Amino acid sequence: CKGVNGLDKVVLREVRGSTAEVYLYGGQVTSWKNDLGEELLFTSSKAIFKPPKAIRGGIPICFPQFSNHGNLEQHGFARNRIWTIDPNPAPFPTATCDKAFVDLILSPSDEDTKAWPHSYEFRLRVTLGPGGDLMLTSRIRNTNTDGKAFSFTFAYHTYFSVSDISEVRIEGLETLDYLDNLQEKERFTEQGDAITFESEVDKVYVGTPNKIAILDHEKKRTFVLRKDGLPDAVVWNPWDKKAKAIVDLGDEDYKHMLCVEAAAVEKSLTLKPGEEWKGRLELSAVPSTYYSGQ
């Protein structure tokens, strides 16, 4: 159906009532609601749903470059291209009646090939599972016919909706090494307990566990992020000063968002012709009383 500014979007509905919305622009999930109709992702009220500006919020796909780690535009071009729906998606290995999913495809345009001279096929499956879990699976295949390998970096730049950033903590990244984007990507080691927020944060945690938890004390909600094929995790909150400088973000929005991004940043991924990479993100949102840390 049609979304903001007439852009095409797909709405997924799971039997118990949870939903997800995926824009073909960017192949971007912009909404994920639980069975109570509560929005779990942050999308800015100032988001500009108009090419070439990427949509501010949801889950932008950063490919083939994360941030400014290369010569391409910031975060690569996948987030501001129109993806297509795969009319013949591969079936699930198990029964599908309790899952809703859509398969999107991104293929290079002539313009993209000028900036990044490679041929590839990028398939993104977005699935809403039983209980409302949201799964994103990316498969990227090198279809170069000139025998050349290519390398890329990647992130699911997920904007979680939080009640108050000062009341949020992340578990699963303590004691890890990180590259600090606010200090010229210098490497540090995280000290102490769970990660909390009282100022701008822009870090790439390297070689993280595959499970990370985001605890929203005020909402009494815990997000559990599971990832596969993505060794790193980016944590970003622009805080007040930077938020004011971002045109498509409200001045106070930083209080209600937190980006925790399953990513491959420190070491780029390389594919030889014919090879395929798979990177998976699985999100669930549970009442904090149900979260035991296991």
Q: Is 266 a catalytic residue?
A: no
Q: Does 43 bind ligand TA6 (CB under 6 A)?
A: no
Identify the burial level of 248 via C-beta atoms within 10 angstroms of its C-beta, where 0-12 means exposed, 13-18 middle and 19 or more buried: middle
CB-CB contact of 161 with 64 (8 Å) = no
CA dist 257 and 162 (Å) reads 5
268 scored as a contact of ligand TA6 (CB under 6 A):
no
Q: Which helix (H) or strand (E) holds 242?
A: helix 239-245
Using CB under 6 A as the binding rule, whether residue 144 contacts ligand TA6 is answered as no
236 in contact with ligand TA6 (CB under 6 A): yes
| Segment interacting with ligand TA6 (CB under 6 A) among 1-9, 37-45, 67-75, 81-89 | 67-75
74 contacts ligand TA6 (rule: CB under 6 A): yes
Contacts of 120 (CB under 8 A, 6+ apart): 107, 108, 140, 141, 142, 143, 144, 150, 271
Closest by CA to 160, choosing from 24, 23, 20, 32, is 32
Minimum Å gap between C-beta 156 and ligand TA6 is 10
Residue (171 or 202) nearer to ligand TA6, CB: 202
Q: How far is the CB of 13 from ligand TA6 (least distance, A)?
A: 29
Question: Residue 138 or 142: which CB sits closer to ligand TA6?
Answer: 138
Task: For tokens 């699985």, name the residue.
Answer: 282
Does 183 sit near ligand TA6 (CB under 6 A)?
no
Is 157 a catalytic site residue? Answer: yes
Binding site for ligand TA6 (CB under 6 A): 54, 67, 74-75, 157, 181, 202, 234, 236, 259, 261
Catalytic positions: 157, 261
